[in-house]
Amino acid sequence: MMFYLQLLTSFLVGGLLIASLSLIGERVPLKWRKIVLTVPTTIAIGFFFIGLTKTPADVTEASVIVPAALIPDYLFVLVFALLSKRNIFLNLVCSYAAWALSAKILLQFPPSSFAESFYLYFLPFVFLLYWLIGLLPQEHQLKPVPFNIKHVAIRSLVGGSILVVVVYLAQTLGNIWGGLFSAFPGSFSAILLIFHHVHGAKVIPAVSKSLFFPGAIGFSLYAWIAGLTFPLYGIWIGTLLSYLATFVFYWLYQKLHLTKEPPSLPREEI
């Protein structure tokens, strides 16, 4: 019974959160879009329910693989951007195939510590993928669609459905698999599908690039803090502290980030 309640909660809370983030992401400048679209959702929900259905200590083991598991995530994002002008079904098949193949390789050579996962796996490969996606044409401007029940419901359905699959697989397999699926591109899939449907293929490379930084560091930070705090303080306070650390990092990033963003659309055009 608890497991089905977990799935229902994942669908409702995760779906509404992804719908809200995608709608807000259309309405904010690029520097804020990078943060709005990379608020930890799949990782947070996955870790919370690993701690709830198993023990908070299991989150520590699951967290080790998260930075390395972001490599398949961002490979998914890169392939989706590369094939954004192709048939959407073919695009998804190829993107998920790239994720599955790289995840299989990762599971054969998993990191033994969080430091190894971050410094040896995450840093070189994610920066390489970020450089590659930056070579694609970038269309930054988005015309937001209205807030209404229809748009919120459709986006929630897409996001919630993907997260249910992720949580199910994370909970029925071991902790390493749980950590891998907690970093599964569930929210990325939903966000990219939504933006592709609403705004067209031309915006996908820019939206995909905005998912990398500071989000990739934020996800790794969330996992690290969760691995430290869940065994000590439990799932509720551990989740709160993990989010707090992530949002403090995002705030500092915004204060220190000096990159100029593209000019916004005139107000009357939105």
Per-residue pLDDT reduced to its tens digit, 28-86: 776 777 888 788 887 887 788 778 777 898 899 889 999 999 999 999 999 999 998 88
Is 70 exceeded by the pLDDT of residue 183?
A: no
For the range 105-109, what are the long-range contacts, defined as Cβ-Cβ under 8 Å and sequence gap of 24 or more? 106/65, 106/68, 106/69, 106/71, 106/72, 106/180, 107/176, 107/177, 107/180
pLDDT tens digits, residue range 218-252?
999 999 999 999 999 999 999 999 999 999 999 99
Greater confidence (168 vs 47) lies with 47
**pLDDT confidence tier of residue 158, bands split at 50, 70 and 90:** low
Full-model pTM? 0.80
Residue 153's pLDDT is 72
Mean pLDDT of the chain: 81
Whether residue 231 contacts residue 40, with contact meaning beta carbons closer than 8 Å, is answered with: no
- Give the residue-averaged pLDDT of 142-162: 65
Is 90 exceeded by the pLDDT of residue 152?
A: no
Token pair in block for residue 213? 């930084």
- Nearest-5° Cα angle at 177, 14 to 106: 115
Nearest Cα residue to 164 out of 46, 36, 48:
46
Is the torsion defined by CA of 174, 179, 180, 184 positive or negative?
positive
